[in-house]
Each structure stands twice: as C-alpha cells, then as structure tokens.
C-alpha cells in the first residue's frame, strides 16, 4: 500500500469516476471530469492505494476555507470527503495517519469536521477533537445564517492560538464561514 497526493488537474478519468462512486453524493453522481476539475480546483486529493493503483481510501483537502473568528478572517485547509473503499479493513485509519503526518511536515493549518458518532474513529487515529464546537460555525444559506450540521471540529494541525479560538466557540461566540462570491 502507498500514500499518494494528487492535484485535481492530475487525476485520471478513472480516478474521478471512482472518487465520485465512493463519495456517492447524488448531486455529483453524473458530474463529468472537466466539471469535476473546475468544481474542485482549490483541492488536492490524498489516497491510500494498493499495489495495482486501486483506491483503498480517499480524502480531499479544500484550500478555499475561511472562518471569521472574533472579527478576524482565518484561512484553513479543510479535510473533507474521507471514504474507504472497503469498510472495517483499517484503510481509512491508515490514510488519516499518513495524512496527519503529511500536513504536519508541510506545516499546514488543517482542520476537519465530523458528526459525534465518528468520534471513536478519529480518537483511534489520534486526531484531537473539539467536541460540539462545529455547531457554533454558521454558514450562509440564502439570506440566513444557519448552524453547521457537523458536531465536532477535528484538529489535524494548527497553531495553539487558532485551536484556542476554535475551542472558545459557543452559542454566544459563533464563527462564520466566509464564502467567495
């Protein structure tokens, strides 16, 4: 098995098809390769591959992620879309461990999010979890600010200052997801 990173532009047609199949998001199932490359242009893809170059697990990094915390904008890289091709084989955990090592080596400000039922998995992978803090992040939906659907913030690698800001989130101290127009 090997850990591999690819930029969106370097993905093959087959890899894109397999990624979409693994993610299984109905709105994306019919996405063509060219549109995929445009849609995920601010991303890179992290894989655990077998010896035949088959994808065993995948995770995407979203580089277009900014939170407004305490009236200041903070850019993070966001870890999203973790999926294993085969459940209960340890591939997802292996990918997360290699991924964490990589982002520490590259000194990337990397966070992610999860629902509370995934806490045991991330704890097993030695990822720090800020429990119930993701709900304090508001996203703009139309003209309203709504709470994130996730429960927890995952700390893959960030500064102590940023971790403390995230840990201070509460119903009186929200963060806001800043999206580009």
Q: How does pLDDT run across 65-123, given as a tens digit for each residue?
A: 999 998 999 999 999 999 999 999 999 999 999 999 999 999 999 999 999 999 999 99
Q: How does pLDDT run across 56-66, given as a tens digit for each residue?
A: 999 999 999 99
Mean per-residue pLDDT for 31-51?
96
Rounded mean pLDDT of the chain? 95
Which residue in this structure is represented by tokens 């060219």? 34
| Overall size of the chain counted in residues | 181
Q: How does pLDDT run across 125-155, given as a tens digit for each residue?
A: 999 999 999 999 999 988 899 999 999 999 9
Is residue 180 over pLDDT 80? no
Q: Name, in order, each residue with C-beta under 8 angstroms of 19's C-beta and a sequence gap of 6 or more.
A: 11, 45, 55, 58
What six digits make up the tokens of 16? Answer: 């894109």
**Other Cβ atoms within 10 Å of 27 Cβ, number:** 6
User: What pLDDT, on the 0 to 100 scale, is given for residue 142?
Assistant: 86
């Amino acid at each position: 098995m090997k850990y591999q990173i690819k930029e969106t532009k370097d993905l093959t047609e087959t890899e894109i098809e397999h990624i979409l199949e693994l993610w299984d998001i109905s709105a994306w199932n019919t996405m063509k390769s060219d549109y995929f490359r445009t849609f995920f242009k601010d991303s890179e893809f992290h894989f655990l591959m077998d010896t035949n170059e088959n994808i065993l697990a995948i995770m995407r990094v979203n580089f277009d992620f900014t939170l407004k915390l305490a009236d200041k904008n903070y850019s993070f890289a966001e870890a999203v879309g973790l999926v294993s091709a085969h459940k209960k084989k340890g591939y997802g955990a292996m990918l997360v461990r290699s991924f964490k090592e990589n982002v520490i080596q590259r000194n990337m400000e990397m966070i992610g999010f999860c629902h509370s039922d995934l806490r045991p998995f991330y704890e097993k992978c030695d990822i720090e979890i800020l429990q119930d803090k993701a709900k304090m992040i508001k996203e703009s939906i139309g003209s309203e600010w709504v709470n994130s659907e996730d429960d927890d913030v995952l700390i893959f690698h960030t500064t102590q200052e940023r971790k403390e800001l995230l840990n201070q989130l509460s119903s009186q101290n929200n963060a806001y997801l800043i999206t580009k127009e």
